[in-house]
Amino acid sequence: MRIIREKSGDRNFELAVPEAALLRQALESTAEAYRTNPGELDPMVGNVWYGRAGLREAGIRGEDALHWIEGLHEVRLGREKYAQNWLKKLPAVGQSGVWLLPVNEVDAFLATLNDHRLRRAAEFDLGDGDLEVMALEKARGDKRIALVEIHFLAWIMETVLHQ
């Protein structure tokens, strides 16, 4: 994969078949999770995207806490619309190709990839040691797939952030 920053700030992605497939899969699954009501998510995921930790201590309870969570969900629903557009423009399934990320969508893209990483880590309760690259070699099955996604998206995010 190559990510080229244009003068405009737009990012041009050159994606090989597996890279396009992985990015597509991440965006599709996270878009679906965005559409899901917070209370209906896997509790571990709900806790990391819509965590109530700290709300009670800050005196944010009842209706106020609900509004807090609803606000976070609204933001993610906004990102879901971006994700649908990105998916339309990614190379078709089974194909390599180029994909343009407009500069004004970079922030939403980074946050969406980050949300995917948080979600996948929460699904497998991954902590510090689990996220070391060496741990990837020992992981198996779905956990290994999750770790591949987490590291792949990290690479994309680091590249975009450092351009």
Partner 1 sequence: MIRGAIDLPEVLPEQKNDLSEAFAKGWRVLVWNDPVNLMSYVVFVFQKVLGFDENKAKKHMLEVHERGQSVVAIETREKSEFLCHRLQEFGLKSTIEANPA
By beta-carbon proximity to partner 1, the closer residue of 24 and 117 is: 117
Query: Which amino acid, one-letter code, is at 81?
Result: K
Q: Per CB under 8 A, does 111 bind partner 1? A: yes
CB 83 within 8 A of CB 38: no
User: Could you say whether residue 126 binds partner 1 (CB under 8 A)?
Assistant: yes
Q: Report whether 135 contacts 147 (CB < 8 A).
A: yes
Q: Tokens at residue 144, please?
A: 């290994």
How far apart (Å, rounded) are the C-alpha atoms in residues 6 and 110? Answer: 17
44 binds partner 1 (CB under 8 A): no
Which residue, 17 or 58, is less far from partner 1 as judged by CB?
Answer: 58
Q: Mention every residue, 6+ apart, whose C-beta is less than 8 A from residue 107.
A: none
Q: Cβ of residue 17: shortest distance to partner 1, in angstroms? A: 26
For residue 107, state whether it binds partner 1 (rule: CB under 8 A).
Answer: yes
Token readout for 158 is 């680091």
Establish if 57 lies at the interface with partner 1 (CB under 8 A): yes
Measure the CA–CA gap between 81 and 52, rounded to whole angstroms.
Answer: 25
Considering only 13-21, 25-33, 88-96, 106-114, which stretch makes contact with partner 1 by CB under 8 A?
Answer: 106-114
Site string for partner 1, 70-89 (x = CB under 8 A): -xx--x--------------
Nearest CA to 161 out of 11, 1, 7 is that of: 11
Contact set with partner 1 (CB under 8 A):
48-49, 51, 53-54, 57-58, 60, 68, 71-72, 75, 107, 110-111, 114-115, 117-118, 121, 126-128, 130-131, 150, 154, 157-158, 161-162
